[in-house]
């Protein structure tokens, strides 16, 4: 691959290597192959990753990480966040031929500086984080299209990062290197904790005798999410907004009886809701005071 002027390049037909072809890596590999790139090599440790690679990327050669690098123009490091820095160090220390090759990771928590060891050896670093949850199921590929990617790179490589994302049918969104931690905290707090909240609500409804909690929750949660995305805090409803301190106190009493481990989370979220509503002028100060007494 000619790397003399990366800012002027289009990432046309690349040989792709994937280190860690798990839930995310295997999906990105398929997405890249669908637009004409070729996944030529993968390195997998777990049996699950090996099986996923064999199923989704049957044309890729299973080999060691250094061999993946040698075979590819674009190397995707799709490993857990905490394994990324050690992997980059290991590739540099073992002399993997990274010079002139695009090396991209998919971690939301890191920018391209985590790739400093291979960048120092001449690699072209990219951070390409798909803003999507991956379950390992086939529908992951469909969800990838039309989602956003948080991208971060040295400025000369930005056109390449953006082009790769656009090719996969997604939207590139530029995130400054120093903002990656905040960016990822926002996403994890929303998506990951949402699953916990919904699962907890469904479990409590089951205890309350609701036979199909998901069917009951679907419409109200869908409306709440739509309101939040369109209106922000102005989409809020419920007892905290109304200042119904006694209702909130009753909620806490019921949770203490049936799900004591969830009380701290309910109280913390109710306090945050009250603070946001008060700051937005949606909650009267005297109502907020009564609520905070209950939540103390």
> What pLDDT, in 10s, does the model give residues 54-92?
999 999 999 999 999 999 999 999 999 999 999 999 999
- Same domain for 189 and 126, yes or no, is no
One domain for residues 154 and 191: no
Roughly what angle, to the nearest 10 degrees, separates helices 245-258 and 263-279?
160
Give me the mean pLDDT over the 215-224 stretch. Answer: 97
Question: By three-state DSSP, how is residue 149 classified?
Answer: strand
- Averaged over 194-206, what is the pLDDT? 96
Supply the pLDDT for residue 12.
Answer: 65
pLDDT beyond 80 at 101: yes
The pLDDT confidence band at residue 41, using thresholds 50, 70 and 90, is: very high
Q: What's the whole-number average pLDDT of the chain?
A: 93
Q: Does any domain span residue 34?
A: yes
Among 175, 207, 229, the domain-final residue is 175
For residue 127, being part of any structural domain is answered with: yes
Provide the number of structural domains found in the chain.
2
Residues 55 and 137 in one domain: yes
The whole-number pLDDT of residue 231 equals 97
Tokens describing residue 120: 């120092």
Q: Residue 1: inside a domain, yes or no?
A: no
d(CA 288, CA 44): 54
Find tokens 């102005």 and name the residue.
234
Choose one of 128, 157, 175: the last residue of a domain. Answer: 175
* Domain extent at residue 68: 6-175
Statement to judge: residues 200 and 170 lie in one domain: no
Predicted TM-score of the model (pTM): 0.85
Domain boundary among 145, 175, 205: 175
Instruction: Report percent pLDDT > 90 for the chain.
Output: 86
Give the full edge-to-edge strand order of the sheet including 124-130.
Answer: 61-62, 38-43, 15-19, 74-77, 102-105, 124-130, 148-152, 171-174
Number of Cβ atoms within 10 Å of the Cβ of 237: 11
CB-based contact 46:148 (threshold 8 Å): no
Check which CATH number belongs to the domain holding 137 and give it: 3.40.50.720
The answer to whether 70 touches 28, Cβ cutoff 8 Å, is no
């Amino acid at each position: 691959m000619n790397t003399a002027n990366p800012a002027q390049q289009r990432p046309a037909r690349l040989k792709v290597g994937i280190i860690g072809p798990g839930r995310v890596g295997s999906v990105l590999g398929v997405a890249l192959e669908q637009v004409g790139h070729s996944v030529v090599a993968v390195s997998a440790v777990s049996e699950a990753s090996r099986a996923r690679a064999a199923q989704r990327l049957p044309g890729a050669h299973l080999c060691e990480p250094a061999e993946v690098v040698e075979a590819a123009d674009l190397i995707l490091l799709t490993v857990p966040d905490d394994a990324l820095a050690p992997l980059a160090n290991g590739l540099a220390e073992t002399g993997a031929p990274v010079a002139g090759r695009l090396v991209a990771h998919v971690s939301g928590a890191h920018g391209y500086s985590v790739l400093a060891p291979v960048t120092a050896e001449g690699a072209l670093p990219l951070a390409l984080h798909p803003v999507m949850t991956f379950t390992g199921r086939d529908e992951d590929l469909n969800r990838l299209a039309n989602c956003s990617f948080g991208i971060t790179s040295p400025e000369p490589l930005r056109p390449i990062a953006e082009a790769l994302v656009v090719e996969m049918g997604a939207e590139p969104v530029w995130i400054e290197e120093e903002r990656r931690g905040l960016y990822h905290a926002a996403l994890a707090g929303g998506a990951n904790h949402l699953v916990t909240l919904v699962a907890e609500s469904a479990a409590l409804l089951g205890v309350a005798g609701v036979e199909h909690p998901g069917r009951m929750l679907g419409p109200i949660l869908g409306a709440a999410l739509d309101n939040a995305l369109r209106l922000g805090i102005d989409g809020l409803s419920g007892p905290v907004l109304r200042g119904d301190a006694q209702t909130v106190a009753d909620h806490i009493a019921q949770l203490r009886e049936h799900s004591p481990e969830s009380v701290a989370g309910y109280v913390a979220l109710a306090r945050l809701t009250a603070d946001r509503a008060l700051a937005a002028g949606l909650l009267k100060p005297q109502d907020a005071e009564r609520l905070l007494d209950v939540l103390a």
